[in-house]
Amino acid sequence: MIASMTGFARKEATGTWGTLVCELRSVNHRFLEIGFRLPDGLRGIEGDFRRLAQASLKRGKVDGTFSIRGVAAGEAAIDLDSEALDRVIAAVSRVAPQLGAAGSVNVLDILRWPGVLRDAGSDGQDQALLDAARGLFQEALDELSAARLREGERMRDVIEQRCRALAGYVTTVRGRAPEIRARAQAKLQERLAELGVTVDAGRIEQEIAILLQRLDADEELDRLSGHLEETRRIIASNEPAGRRLDFLMQELNREANTLSSKSQDLETTRIAVEMKVAIEQMREQVQNIE
């Protein structure tokens, strides 16, 4: 099944460290390009995120964003570091006599001193946060991949519809070939009659053969049919298909242009134009396929 390079996923988890949110966005790109916006606490495992993404995705520009909302005020358990508190009080005691009344210290000022108060179990919370972030990223990655597959399925249907239309155009042009040849031969005979000249029958047959050879489009129609068959095979496979489909779109367009340049039939020219429109519509879809 083909996959789109466009997708979005959002996952969140809640724990003692607060609420962790992961968002992934991807758009089309020639290669796989991954960028992250991470809070300081998660920068150390950016490499883990990158390896997980590379294992799941082959192409696309992927932006990953993590955010952490801490627990509400009053809900977080805190510890008082007695040793740090003793050191701060001792320092205040030494300095206070020299400052006099101007050097009075508020209790809250002491509690705000770095290291005096800390979140209870913060060491364990840090590891729990990292583990939760890895798991949450994998969940978001799975959701992103599923979204890209759903979009790819829709794109596959569009490409299949255009392939059916192109196959119909090829059949129509093949069916017109006998009429085009007969008309070209009759036109040459009429032109010779208008000129009133006598031409050797063998020479006439030779000229007719050359004319019909220039008008013959069987080779282009065969290649168009072959490219359409290959396109259908690729969109039904489970391999990354974007680059191969892009090449086939170029080949299809080349054959449609050649058919148009050879045509001396108004209806065939019109069909060649319709072919190029359908091929361009497929190409627009292919540009976003992984």
- For residue 176, the model assigns a pLDDT of 80
Assess whether 15 and 134 both reside in one domain.
yes
274, 254, 281: which is closest to 170 by C-alpha?
Answer: 274
For the segment 273-288, what is each residue's pLDDT rounded down to a tens digit?
A: 999 999 999 999 999 9
Better-scored residue on pLDDT, 256 or 194: 256
- For residue 41, the model assigns a pLDDT of 85
Residue 32 to residue 58: CA distance in whole angstroms: 6
Q: Is residue 2 in some structural domain?
A: no
Q: If you average pLDDT over every residue of the chain, what do you get?
A: 84
- For residue 72, the model assigns a pLDDT of 44
Q: Is residue 1 in some structural domain?
A: no
**How would you class 148 by CB atoms within 10 Å of its CB: exposed for 0-12, middle for 13-18, buried for 19 or more?**
buried
Better-scored residue on pLDDT, 119 or 170: 170
Q: Is residue 185 in some structural domain?
A: yes
Looking at the predicted structure, is the pLDDT value of residue 80 above 90? Answer: no
Percent of the chain with pLDDT over 70: 78
Assess whether 24 and 137 both reside in one domain.
yes
Looking at the predicted structure, is the pLDDT value of residue 212 above 80? Answer: no
Assess whether 52 and 98 both reside in one domain.
no
Q: Is residue 249 in some structural domain?
A: yes
Q: Is residue 166 in some structural domain?
A: yes
Assess whether 35 and 132 both reside in one domain.
yes
Residue 51 to residue 61: CA distance in whole angstroms: 15
Domain CATH code at residue 234:
1.20.140
Query: Where is average pLDDT lowest: 23-37, 63-77, 240-254?
Result: 63-77
Residue 76 to residue 4: CA distance in whole angstroms: 43
- For residue 66, the model assigns a pLDDT of 96
- For residue 193, the model assigns a pLDDT of 65
Domain CATH code at residue 58:
3.30.230.10
Residue 76 to residue 118: CA distance in whole angstroms: 10
Number of domain units in the chain: 3
Assess whether 220 and 248 both reside in one domain.
yes
Assess whether 277 and 164 both reside in one domain.
yes
Assess whether 162 and 220 both reside in one domain.
yes
Mean pLDDT of 7-32: 93
Looking at the predicted structure, is the pLDDT value of residue 173 above 60? Answer: yes
Assess whether 242 and 191 both reside in one domain.
yes
Q: Which band of pLDDT confidence, cut at 50, 70 and 90, is reported for residue 74?
A: very low
Tell me which amino acid residue 262 is.
K
Looking at the predicted structure, is the pLDDT value of residue 243 above 70? Answer: yes
Q: Which band of pLDDT confidence, cut at 50, 70 and 90, is reported for residue 223?
A: very high
Better-scored residue on pLDDT, 268 or 189: 268
170, 175, 177: which is closest to 279 by C-alpha?
Answer: 170
Q: Which band of pLDDT confidence, cut at 50, 70 and 90, is reported for residue 265?
A: confident
Assess whether 90 and 68 both reside in one domain.
no
**Domain membership of residue 258 as a residue range:** 151-286
Q: Which band of pLDDT confidence, cut at 50, 70 and 90, is reported for residue 189?
A: low
For the segment 108-163, what is each residue's pLDDT rounded down to a tens digit?
A: 777 777 777 665 544 555 888 999 999 999 999 999 999 999 999 999 999 999 99
